[in-house]
Amino acid sequence: MVAQNLNYEGTLRCIAKHGPSGVILTTDAPTDNMGRGESFSPSDLVATALAACKLTTMAIFAERHGVKLDGSTAYAEKHMTTSGPRKIERIVVRIDFCAGIADDMRPKLENAALACPVAKSLSAELQQQVTFHYPD
């Protein structure tokens, strides 16, 4: 269990504190939903969490197998519904690997990313479009 403590600050802004580390994170409602959009929105954090989980899960696998992922990056973009209840409809994630990933490790790393805990925790209704790019 990891505790998170949040305070509502007014004007659609929350301040979250990570229990174990004390790191502070601010959220704002997005500008298209009455907010200032000056920080991550809660739904932005879902997309960010998905991309970070994929990178982290691959890095755990890579560490165990002596593969260097340093310099690899992820891009995440969320798409909200345009009708019906407001919710995340689709998250697009692109993983850009650093150079030097052996051909035999690529599908293993991709499988690790696709099976990350956040991906498994999201509703099956939410579309996850994930692509992997290698520079060589």
Nearest in space to 126 (alpha carbons), one of 78, 76, 54, 71: 78
pLDDT in tens, 93-128: 999 999 999 999 999 999 999 999 999 999 999 999
pLDDT band at 136 (very low <50, low <70, confident <90, very high): confident
C-alpha count within 13 angstroms, C-beta hemisphere, residue 70: 2
pLDDT in tens, 31-55: 989 989 999 999 999 999 999 999 9
Where do the domains of the chain lie, and which CATH numbers do they carry? 4-33 (no CATH), 42-133 (3.30.300.20)
Pair of tokens at residue 9: 């600050």
Q: Give the pLDDT of residue 41.
A: 96
Q: Give the pLDDT of residue 99.
A: 97
3-state secondary structure of 29: coil
Beta pairing partners, 18: 4
- The DSSP string of 37-97 is -SSB-HHHHHHHHHHHHHHHHHHHHHHHTT---TT-EEEEEEEE-SSSS--EEEEEEEEEP
pTM: 0.94
